[in-house]
Structure 1
Amino acid sequence: MTPLRQIIKACLLVAAPVLLCLSATTGRAGDFAEFRPLGFSADGTVFGFEEFGVQDGSGFPYANRYFINTSTDSYAAPPVRVRIDDDTATLADARATAAATSPALAAGLSDNPGIFAAYQPATELRSNGLELSYTSFAMEPFPGGPYKVQLSEKPLPASAGCAAFGEESVGFKLRMTETDGELASITLQDDASVPASRNCPTSYRLGGALTHANPDGSTTHVILILVRSHGFEGADGRWIAVTRRLN
């Protein structure tokens, strides 16, 4: 049970003054999902990842799994979303249920973990979250050059998720500006609208990058983006992945 639910329950039990109860609930928490990569298919055409946490407001554990077709940057299969509406359920329960729901989708991915080339979650304070520079694998001295991506936010018409807040939606544009040490201008994503799965986003942050060396000589790049959105008790954070195969 979340602190907010505990406070509300206590207020109802002792008939505490309303103002006292309201003042006790002014602290805002929200929840930011943890991220874990599941891996790649052997040919690099599928990337899977998991996010999980405890939902703000309800206190119920959740676990989501996503499988991305890296050639088209679209879902290879419908997302697996699990929330267990039980106060006694644990994160382990939710993660196990999500895993049991998608064994065929995840089969073999752990055999190809790829390279976790960069990671800067919301707890990383030295980055503004708008730029990310990395090499595609680790070697000293490195035989190639770095890759760089830049993120910019853009206002968009209000989505259904933002209607309750009376706000416009926030989308993003993601560009790769350097490939293997050479200047580049590759648009990886440029939102024209905000999908309902992002709820009502308020900001975005570059969260990391993964790479996979493919048998055909190409490299799959996965750019992680943390989506901040309005939650019940404060800002929520969820993960999305933008993919591109480069020769």
Structure 2
Amino acid sequence: MNSRWLTASLAAALSGIVGLTALPALAGDIAAVRPIGFSGDGSVFAFEEYGVQTGANTPYSNIYAIDLNNNTFLPDTPVRLRGDDDKASMAAIRKQTMDQVAKIVQDRGLLDHPGEIVAFNPLSEVGTDPHALSYRVHASQPTVGEPNTLTLEELDEGAPAACKDQVQTIKGFRLKMTQINGAKQDKVVYEDGHVPASRRCPTGYRLGGVVTYQIPGGAVVQIALVLVMNPSSEGSDGRWLAVPIKP
């Protein structure tokens, strides 16, 4: 496949950058999130988060490709890039990360299986529960199937030494299905055993969305998009986790 065509296809698939408006004088940055897609057999999911870093005012783009069978990153990922200064182009940074994962995207056929965003709960949404989402696994009209309800519970953990100057307690989380296809449940589908150092000093989480993919002739793969909040010099920064849901 022509690499120039692939790069153009990737850029088109990940287009739709929301225009930036004026922010308060003191505000952390909340990364935007865009699913890239699934492998045909549903064993791999990739997504991008991007934004402008607080303070330095530099654009960044991070791409994660996850092996859903064991919840680990594929080799050579994540890809994390940041501009050198506030004159760096967001488009150029995003293109560089897309170029670095082009082979994975091509080999795994990720653009052929984009999946569906069946629920989304951004930080800017008013009047919604940040720790619960109810959804059907397919977007269709008439509707197919009964609702699922996913909930997030925050778990307290003593702050490690690296976080002591910012917070005394950090947060982990647990995901539970309280409804599966319309039936009441109380099933834990994910729980932190210990907050990994890669999350820095998390002070809270938001259940931001659910992405699904129907494996041809098989099951529906479900991914929870979880927003992780961290303290910053100008408020709180938000970055994304993709957590496989296995009801």
Partner AA of 1:72 in structure 2: N
- The TM-score, its normalising length taken from structure 2, stands at 0.84
1:218-241 residue CA offsets vs partner (Å, 9 max, x unmatched): 110001111111113221011111
**Is residue 138–residue 144 contact of structure 2 (8 Å, CA) maintained in 1?**
no
Match for residue 165 of structure 2? 164
Match for residue 20 of structure 1? none
1:36-89 residue CA offsets vs partner (Å, 9 max, x unmatched): 110111111111100001110111111000111222233233311111212321
Match for residue 221 of structure 1? 222
Match for residue 141 of structure 2? 140
Larger Rg: 1
**Is residue 190–residue 245 contact of structure 2 (8 Å, CA) maintained in 1?**
no
Partner AA of 2:93 in structure 1: A
- How far has the Cα of 1:133 moved from its partner? 0.4
Structure 1 unaligned runs (5+)?
1-25
Q: Which runs of 4+ in 1 moved over 3 A?
A: none
Match for residue 84 of structure 1? 83
Structure 2 unaligned runs (5+)?
1-23
1:1-247 aligned within 5 A:
27-77=25-75, 78-107=77-106, 108-245=109-246
In the aligned structure 2, how far is the partner of 1:234 from the partner of 1:102?
32
Partner AA of 1:199 in structure 2: R
Name the SS of the counterpart of 2:164 in structure 1: helix
TM-aligned CA distance change 1:112 to 1:161, over 3 Å? farther
Name the SS of the counterpart of 1:105 in structure 2: helix
- How far has the Cα of 1:31 moved from its partner? 0.4
Name the SS of the counterpart of 2:80 in structure 1: strand
In the aligned structure 2, how far is the partner of 1:106 from the partner of 1:197?
24
- How far has the Cα of 1:146 moved from its partner? 1.0
Name the SS of the counterpart of 2:203 in structure 1: strand
- How far has the Cα of 1:113 moved from its partner? 0.8
**Is residue 136–residue 144 contact of structure 2 (8 Å, CA) maintained in 1?**
no
In the aligned structure 2, how far is the partner of 1:80 from the partner of 1:116?
23
TM-aligned CA distance change 1:137 to 1:29, over 3 Å? same
- How far has the Cα of 1:216 moved from its partner? 4.7
In the aligned structure 2, how far is the partner of 1:183 from the partner of 1:69?
30
In the aligned structure 2, how far is the partner of 1:35 from the partner of 1:225?
10
In the aligned structure 1, how far is the partner of 2:72 from the partner of 2:179?
23
* Greater Cα shift, 116-125 or 166-175: 166-175
Name the SS of the counterpart of 1:164 in structure 2: coil
- How far has the Cα of 1:245 moved from its partner? 4.5
TM-aligned CA distance change 1:210 to 1:160, over 3 Å? farther
- The TM-score, its normalising length taken from structure 1, stands at 0.84
**Is residue 200–residue 230 contact of structure 1 (8 Å, CA) maintained in 2?**
yes
**Is residue 188–residue 242 contact of structure 1 (8 Å, CA) maintained in 2?**
no
**Is residue 34–residue 51 contact of structure 1 (8 Å, CA) maintained in 2?**
yes
